[in-house]
Amino acid sequence: MPKKQDEQLSFDDLMDPKEEPKKNRKRKTKQALEEIQEKILDVEFSDVMRKSYIDYSMSVITARALPDVRDGLKPVQRRLIYDMQELGTTSDKPYRKVARVVGDTMGKYHPHGDSSLEGALVVMAQDWKQYQPLVDGHGNFGSIEGDEAAASRYIECRMTPYTEDVLLSDIKENTVDFIPNYDEELDEPAVLPCRLPNLLINGTEGIAVGMATSMPTHNTGEVIDAAIWYLDHEKQATIEDLMQILPGPDFPTGGIISNQSDLNAIYTTGTGKIKVRGKVVIEQDKGGKEKLVITEIPYPMIGDGIGKFLQSVADLVENKTLSDIVDISNQSSKEGIRIVLELKKGADTEQIENILYKKTRLEDTFGCNFLAISHGRPETMSILDIYREFAAFQYEIHTRKFENLLKKADRKREIDEGLLKAIDVVDTIVEILRGSDTVAQAKTCLMTGNTTGIRFKTKTAEKQAKELRFTEIQAQSILELRLSRLVGLELAAIQEDYDKIVKNINRYKKLLGSHAEMRHEIVRGLESLKAKYQKPRKTVITDAKEIVIKEKPEEILPVVVLIDRFHYIRAIDETLYEKNKEQLDPEHKYVIPSATDQRLIAFTDTGKAHTVKVKDIPYGRLRDKGTPIDNISGYDSKQENIIAILPLEVEKELVFVSSDGYVKRVSMAEFDVTRRTIDSTKLSPGSKVVYIAPYQDRSLMLTSANQYAIRFQQSEIPVQGKTARGAIGMKLEEGDSIAEVSDSGLIRFSKRGGKGKKR
């Protein structure tokens, strides 16, 4: 078929010429390209990337990673809870498979991976992570020690009473807005009508794009008390006032917050670090030995942190830092944490406890970042901001609730008024119904008194019918009325119901018309929830003393350091050396008597000085090989050669000789430094250190490669610093260098700095 005039050409047309003339094909190609050209947008690539990234970031921030300040829930949590209500998985119903809830939520509201849904649901059931669990789990939901939950097909769940009372109790009263789900086939709540500051009670953690939230858990009773106080003192409320009632976090795992003085700043800025310690108690066994028992752990330690803590303790025992611990056992169970450290008799328990706090995760840090979605945007909030948002949300949902209840009550009142009026003229209504040809005819008569076409038995009934003026709702309810409701008891029930409705209407109007009355209503609800869900505080808040570890004086042992020609180094007991001296001396290049509190200095030809602590040298048996000196010092055997290894004796001086004939004396005190490697001397380009030895009041002879020699007294060598090059010891001809240095010789003495004599 020929193409219509306005039909666009496709590339398929262009690729199939169909015997067309060449001119026509060119014309169509040009036309197609012009049409494509009109649709091309000229944009800056960086602008497109920036906008796309910002859109992606905001999507993750608002729709996945961060909680809403109003209900304290992330979208995935909110959708799971709402779906459980839709499925009827309430606290008084049987458990349902987690796989059923996850699959239903994923299909209806959350089109992401099932692992994220399952993980979120499992966390909501873990009472060591949630202060008030939102899900009642049945089966293996993991453990505080980091064990994973069983597969979703094996475990079951239902809502907790807290979830029903706090998050969902008023959701059917039009208290919150509903929005379309991802495919716009269903509606889901934009937020749950939460009646408590759940963000504070259960805390939260989440990582978005470029930002993260971390909110600790708080005591339910304290959070509610602070909310009540805020509602009563909204205008003059301060953070200091709130923190008199809500002093800080209360973790499900207990523990001790040790930096109370920092909390005010954290709760003011919304950011900061809370230090949390585990709780340690001392027990005694029958033999009088003491043991440390850890009964509570820091909240950040939950999960694999417990295993890492046990490994840290084992490492400290192995390296002798905690040598008084003889056994470690994890006796934790469903009843709680119990990690037992058995001690030697007479062990210093305070010192051990301090080491545990200082060198393990028994004291850990909880980083706070009070970031939440407020009015559709992420905001870092103070505790006062959170309560301000809470109060505004409570007034909103309560206003919407009572407006909805008032609307329902007005409708019910109207119906009951009609029924009560209908009772007085029931005979007339019966005649209207019997005399009407259609329901619509009867309904019109009840509403307007129009009797046209209706057959009445008596004129009196017709006269009364013309006076009827029921509303449409009343007329419909009369038409649907069962005759059984006209008996005496039913009539009394209608009247009682009507009186109750009128009373409720007056109450609703009073609440909606008075801010003070509405506040009292909210407070009454908070007090009721507090009575049901408050718990004793678990976490102690204090300003703990700074941990001080008393350093045990190290035992000083006399040793002999042995270094062979391959520079393998080791230390052995002094007595053992004396017994095997004749065998050991020939096998080693250096034999240095020392002690474990001393240091050795390894000097190299590149002018470096490497400090080696004797206590770091492997201490072993007679036939042990030792370790390369590279492993315990900054020495690099590929870049430099050791000239001398000497004990650090600050009262002595060393004599340096470089290959270009420079000499100097240096106090050994200059090498008493904390750094492991320093420069021992300054060298000319191309020169090296060829001799280092302790200063002696005797001669020194230098011999060059060209067989020139000079001999002078060491006392002529000037004392200089380690950064100096030195003074001329022997003037060398071009291309010559010092080849040998000795402290004696047969040639005559001369002054330092001469050319020397040919040998």
Location of structure tokens 């969902």:
168
Pairing of strands 271-277, 363-369: antiparallel
Give residues with Cβ within 8 angstroms of 55, minimum separation 6: none
> Residue 633: how many CB atoms within 10 A of its CB?
20
Q: How far apart are CA 384 and CA 328, in angstroms?
A: 45
| Separation of alpha carbons 160 and 142, rounded Å | 18
DSSP states of 134-182 as a string?
SEEEES----TTSPPPPPTTT-EEEE-HHIIIIIITTGGGT-S-EEE-T
Kindly state the tokens that stand for 76: 């995935």
Q: Measuring CA to CA, how many Å separate 180 from each of 3, 161, 183, 187, 630?
A: 42, 28, 7, 4, 68
DSSP H/E element including 505: helix 488-513
Burial string for 520-558 (b: 16+ CB within 10 Å, else e) reads ebbbebbeebbeebeeeebbbbeeeeeeeeeeeeeeeee
Residue 633 is encoded by which pair of tokens?
Answer: 């010092």
According to DSSP H, which parts of 628-744 are helical? none
Say if CB 629 and CB 612 are below 8 A apart.
yes
Tokens 């040793």 belong to residue: 559
Whether 154 is a known active-site residue: answer yes
Give the type of residue at 423. Answer: I
In three-state secondary structure terms, 306 is helix
Q: Which two tokens stand for residue 45?
A: 């690539």
Q: Decide if 357 contacts 202 (C-beta within 8 A).
A: no
Given a contact cutoff of 8 angstroms between Cβ atoms, the answer to whether 110 and 89 are in contact is no
Give backbone dihedrals phi and psi of 552, rounded to 5 degrees, phi first. Answer: -75, 135
Q: CB under 8 Å to 690, separation ≥6 — which residues?
A: 605, 643, 657, 658, 659, 738, 739, 741
SS (H, E, C) 581-599: HHHHHHHCCEEEEEECCCE
From the candidates 53, 56, 154, 182, which is the catalytic residue?
A: 154
612 and 570 Cβ atoms separated by less than 8 Å: no
User: What angle is formed at CA 141 by the lines to CA 140 and CA 144, rounded to 5 degrees?
Assistant: 110
Around 256, how many Cα atoms within 13 Å sit in the side-chain half-sphere? Answer: 15
3-state secondary structure 377-413: EEEECCHHHHHHHHHHHHHHHHHHHHHHHHHHHHHHH
Contact 441, 454 (CB under 8 A): yes
| C-alpha torsion sign, points 454, 457, 458, 461 | negative
**CA 490, 491, 493 angle in degrees (round to 5)?**
60
Contact 97, 216 (CB under 8 A): no
**What is the H or E stretch that residue 663 is in?**
strand 662-667
Question: What is the enclosing helix (H) or strand (E) of 500?
Answer: helix 488-513
| Spatial contact of 216 and 254, defined as CB atoms under 8 Å apart | no
- Identify the bridge partners of residue 713 per DSSP, sorted by sequence position: 699
SS3 category, 548? coil
Kindly list the catalytic residues.
154
